[in-house]
Structure 1
Amino acid sequence: MARRGLRKMRTGIVILVLLVVVGGGGYVGWVLVQRSAPVSLPTPTGQLQVGRQTFEWTDTARKDPYVAGPRKLSVFVWYPVAKGVTGRKVAYAPGQWTGLQLKAPVSILEGPLDSLHDPALDHAAVAPGRFPVVVLLPGMGFSAPMYAALAEDLASHGYLVAGVTPTYSANLTVLDGRTISSMPAANPSNLGDNSPGAIEAGDHLVNTWAADARFAATQVAKELPDSVDTAFGTSYVGHSFGGAASLEACRTDARCAAAIDIDGSQYGEVVKKGVQAPIMLLGADDSCITSVCGPDAKNDTDRARALSLLKASTNTSWCATIPGTRHFNFTDYGAYYLAWPLRRYLPLGTIDRRRALTLENGYVSTFLSHALRNTPAPGAPACAS
């Protein structure tokens, strides 16, 4: 899982950074120059511009499982904006969200997030018309803003994208003017090791994330009632644990139109009961989540759950592996400036990082267009089952 990879990465990087600082002052100086160069998110490929707003929503009907009181969520909403509209660009990580930057001394090897150029317009008017809703869920430990490249590309193709940050599971959430860290109960340290305890924890936690996703879908319709096309239902897209939660949200939402799991081991009842809507499983080279293990997979422990999911699902399923990718290639780490040895310790594959984002975005937008608008099917085979 994403958080586990970050922990492993930090230990090695801190040691190497200290060596570099002590014995490689020249290299540090070169990195400081390089990280100050402008870096931009990929340009969205759709015909529309993109706007973004942020919201804090409270699910008064649901008790938060981790603290007293109702469940509160931070949600970034990306949406289509008409061509020709001008205005102020958003800050990629606004305000206290700059805390997503890796901490010192590792942060010297990562470009500053507050200078990352984001093409989305801040609070621009939604384009005329009505659009399908897509709920986007991050990987464990990650926050919704770190998937802006995917969200903005979808919005440019005519979708309202609600990016949910699952409170207490993300390493950083901003709510009520304060930052909130993760809790062990909501971000289990053993998640992903495929032990019985880890699977049980994941099966339980995925229900909370799926409920977060369904709630966000209803709130988008309330917040932007004149822009939501209810005829298309809701689609769910997620990375890592968010991918598992997207499948479970789709299973439990009668109006689910499609679901995409991006490199996420599957958890919850969906593994046995499947999904009735079309689904796509998109994996990395070292993953088995599509039911066919990639060439760099170390074991096939996820394969059985993927096969069970596909066997129980009743609609069309597509599977694809993007060559040269690893787990973080599906996040905005594909757009950040990353110096060596940070690139060495993050789970990023041999593929050009920006090309990986382009391929991911292409698969996701093509699949959703096919599932919702009956356009040609994505260039991926039907899943093995």
Structure 2
Amino acid sequence: MARRGLRRMRTGIVILVLVALLAGAGYAGWIMVKRSEPVSLPEPTGNFQVGRRGFEWTDTPRRDPFADGPRKLSVWLWYPVAKGTTGRKVEYAPDLWSGLHLKAPLSLFQGPFDTLEDRALDRVAIAPGRFPVVVLMPGMGLSAPMYASLAEDLASHGYLVAGVTPTYSANLTVLGGQPIGSKEAANPPNLGDSSEQAQNVGDHLVGTWAADARFAAGMLAKQLPASVETGLGTSYVGHSFGGAASLEACRLDPRCAAAVDLDGSQFGDVVTKGVRAPIMLLGADDSCITSVCGPDAKNDADRNRALSLLKASTGTSWCATVPGSRHFNFTDYGAYYLAYPLRKFLPLGSVGPRHALTVQNGYITTFLSHALYNTPAPGAPACAT
């Protein structure tokens, strides 16, 4: 009897293993089918079509703090295009930029970039007119191309959007036809700590990023055709550490019209000196960057810095939280195909990923329009101080 029971147990185990293997194989097959299906970036909500082109700019007088020689930057420009313009659509991540895709084995759970349909037109003419400049700064380790959903929506509303990839801080940038990775000095591993050392490192590094942003704003005006003018100052928009850099760049730029910090802990002198221009702080459910901690925040390490920033700032400030969001909901990860295990692994919240992008873009376009054109104020409360 004991032997018979043991045989039954072994048979049951074998059956369970076979079922698990078949289920796993079936799920893997389903993922392979789904990741090969085309997906599109969200439809821009403005009245213009959108174009895109890339530049490589050298800030000749400024020495790169992380390499020999002057500071060199890759800058992508998204811009308004007249309705009815035809042309070839851009590739989302062309050539060596395809290295932005997650590496194996995680790549198996992410849709390939060649099935991600981008709506921008490749290097077509900029619509004639006078358009404000927005400098877009990515999060630490990320690159400007990973914010195309936001950039294209802004461009469709009549903004010239210069996306800067901070060299050696991004995990990938492409300059001179060569891929360039990050360096530890430019991409500190413990920047998210609440320690005094981490804050000192961030306070120092944010100056380099702010200089990158201001340099890009100045260079852009020199690249435009005679039929296009800039006006109404420069606005700075950034995610994560790029949000801190945007605030610091705005503090230093007398022509700054507005600044937006997307879920970024604040660093630099701006924390104590504030900003004169209007600002918006847009946070995730698990952060305290707006000075009010979201419902999922596990500590309030960022709250005091946000309060200091807001108390020192003299312009109007708006703060909001995107319900159900986490840190990567402010990036194009909300538009990628991501299979279930990977989506749980990345900092993406319970909110529908495309809905989060819609909410974010709506807040930003409304805020910038109010700051620059005095249209109705965004539907977000004034920041608590």
Per the normalisation by structure 2, the TM-score is: 0.93
- Output the amino acid matched with 2:371: A
- Alignment match, 1:347: 347
Tell me what 2:215 maps to.
Answer: 215
Q: Distance in 2 between matches of 1:187 and 1:239?
A: 15
Is the contact between residue 133 and residue 228 of structure 1 (CA under 8 Å) also seen in structure 2? no
- Map 1:1-385; keep pairs closer than 5 Å: 24-224=24-224, 226=226, 229-385=229-385
CA distance in 1, matches of 2:294, 2:176: 43
Cα distance in structure 2, aligned partners of 1:153 and 1:383: 25
Shift of 1:130: 1.3
Mapped partners of 1:216, 1:300: distance in 2: 34
Stretches of structure 1 that go unaligned for 5 or more consecutive residues are 1-19
Alignment-mate amino acid for residue 200 of structure 1: N
Determine the C-alpha separation between the residues in 2 that align with 1:227 and 1:247.
31
Cα displacement string for residues 113-137 of structure 1 (whole angstroms, at most 9, x for unaligned residues): 1221000000010011110000000
Shift of 1:85: 0.4
Q: Distance in 2 between matches of 1:109 and 1:328?
A: 16
Does the C-alpha gap of structure 1 residues 22 and 145 become closer, same or farther in structure 2, counting only changes over 3 Å?
A: farther
Aligned 8 A contact 1:237 1:260 in 2: yes
Cα pair 2:131 2:231 within 8 Å, conserved: no
* SS in structure 2 of the partner of residue 47 of structure 1: coil
Q: CA deviation at 1:231?
A: 3.4
Query: SS state of the match for residue 231, structure 2?
Result: helix
Query: Structure 2 regions of 5+ residues with no counterpart?
Result: 1-19
TM-score (norm 1): 0.93
> Equivalents in 1 of 2:127, 2:233: separation in Å?
19
Please give the root-mean-square deviation of Cα atoms over the aligned residues, in Å: 1.2
1:265 match: secondary structure: coil
Is the Cα–Cα contact under 8 Å of residues 168 and 181 in structure 2 kept in the other structure? yes
Write the letter of the residue equivalent to 2:46. G
Letter in 2 for 1:369: S
Say if 2:286 and 2:295, in contact at 8 Å, map to a contact too.
Answer: yes
Output the CA distance in 1 between the equivalents of 2:21 and 2:108. Answer: 10
SS at match of 2:207: helix
Q: Percent identity?
A: 75
User: C-alpha offsets along residues 318-360 of structure 1, whole Å, 9 cap, x if unaligned?
Assistant: 0000100000000000000000200111010111000000000
Deviation, structure 1 residue 196: 1.0
| Counterpart-to-counterpart distance in 2, 1:215 and 1:227 | 22
Structure showing greater relative contact order (alpha-carbon pairs closer than 8 Å, 6 or more residues apart)? 1
Mark the structure with the bigger radius of gyration: 2
Report the alpha carbon displacement of residue 21 of structure 1 after superposing the two structures with TM.
8.9
- Mean Cα displacement is larger for which, 221-230 or 196-205? 221-230
Q: Which secondary structure does the structure 2 equivalent of 1:130 belong to?
A: strand
Query: Would you say how many aligned residue pairs link Structure 1 and Structure 2?
Result: 366
* Between structures 1 and 2, the one with greater strand share: 2
Offset of residue 25 of structure 1: 2.0
| Deviation, structure 1 residue 289 | 0.2
Q: Is the 8 A contact 2:136 2:236 kept in 1?
A: yes
